[in-house]
Amino acid sequence: MNIHTTHIETPLGIARIVSSDVGILSISVLDDKSTVSNSEIIPPILQECITQLKEYFEGKRTDFDLTLAPEGTDFQQRVWKELNKIPFGKTCSYLELSKKLGDVKAIRAVASANGKNPLWIVTPCHRVIGSDGSLTGYAGGLWRKKWLLAHESPVKQQSLF
């Protein structure tokens, strides 16, 4: 299996995109630019992912149409599939997500699977919030989660301060 890696600049940092012959394996955001190195060949699947991410950040795209191949347990795959059902501009609580998966008691396992989501932005784990509306946990940092939710908000509000 051929693995290819590329990076793009985003408003939230450098995004690392990794693909195989099967699909996109992971998209992550980096805090350290020193780890950036690209494959010599950028296959069409990576080119398409770059295009779609740029469109998302430009406000021209609200959903993604990519071939995804994230690696995870069956349970993680179920959680990630459910995350993809959360509409652009909407949020869902960990409790609601657990209920949708059929086991309200699995809330911690759902939160753990959410935190291990390998497809930053494309599988929208940033749309999951606490039951009280709080911005709980985010692997990329809460400031990025806040930015993403504001970017996706149908109501754009300017700061008064």
- Residues catalogued as catalytic: 125
d(CA 77, CA 34): 31
CA proximity to 72, closest of 118, 112, 110: 118
Burial 65-95 (b: 16+ CB within 10 A, else e): ebebbbeeeeebebbbebbeebeeeebbbbe
